[in-house]
Structure 1
Amino acid sequence: MAKYLISFPSAAMKVANSELDAVGRDAHAVMREAKEAGIYVFGGGIDETVPPVLVSANGLVTEGGYPWAPPLNGGFTVLELPSSKEAIAWAARIAKACRCDQELRVFGFDPDS
């Protein structure tokens, strides 16, 4: 089975403040279903209150991430599924719960990492 990364950037979530509680409830319900199905690997969101730092091979720390790259933010989930068809179905369930489209990628899992 392959692992799939399902994610969205923060800017994709255009939800009224009055709807945030429902989004959280619905998203957590989908994650509980994934856990019960035994396909949940891990998930969460980038803490956007903590700015990134760039760490070089010699240990030098620079404020901010790669200056040429778009910011990494938003939420993500990794699920282990038997097919891309099932990954698309789960991504659609997450999109419905989060009220925003989800990006779907095969996660390059390295068992030696």
Structure 2
Amino acid sequence: MAKYLISFPSAAMTVTGNELEVVGQAARAVIREAKAAGVYVFGGGIDETVPPVLVSASGVVAEGGYP
């Protein structure tokens, strides 16, 4: 089964206090759907101060940006 990574930098979204609850509910709904479909793998943050690397399916490691 294919696996997908959904990521974006912390600066990609700016929400107001009024929007935060709605955005949080929508994000949790996506996670529930992914879990129900059996495709949820991981949830958490990425430390943007750590230089990223890309690792291919064959194990080759290369410098790269966050996807």
- The TM-score with structure 1 as length reference comes to 0.40
Q: Which runs of 5+ in 1 are unaligned?
A: 53-64, 73-106
Give the superposed CA RMSD: 2.7
Q: Which has the higher contact order (CA 8 A, sep 6+)?
A: 1
State how many pairs are aligned: 56
How far apart, CA to CA, are the structure 2 residues paired with 1:108 and 1:2?
14
How far apart, CA to CA, are the structure 1 residues paired with 2:57 and 2:20?
32
Q: Does 1:5 align with 2:5?
A: yes
Higher fraction of strand: 1
The structure that has the greater radius of gyration is 1
Identity %: 64
Contact 1:3-1:109 within 8 A present in 2 as well: no
- The TM-score with structure 2 as length reference comes to 0.63
Q: Which runs of 5+ in 2 are unaligned?
A: 59-67
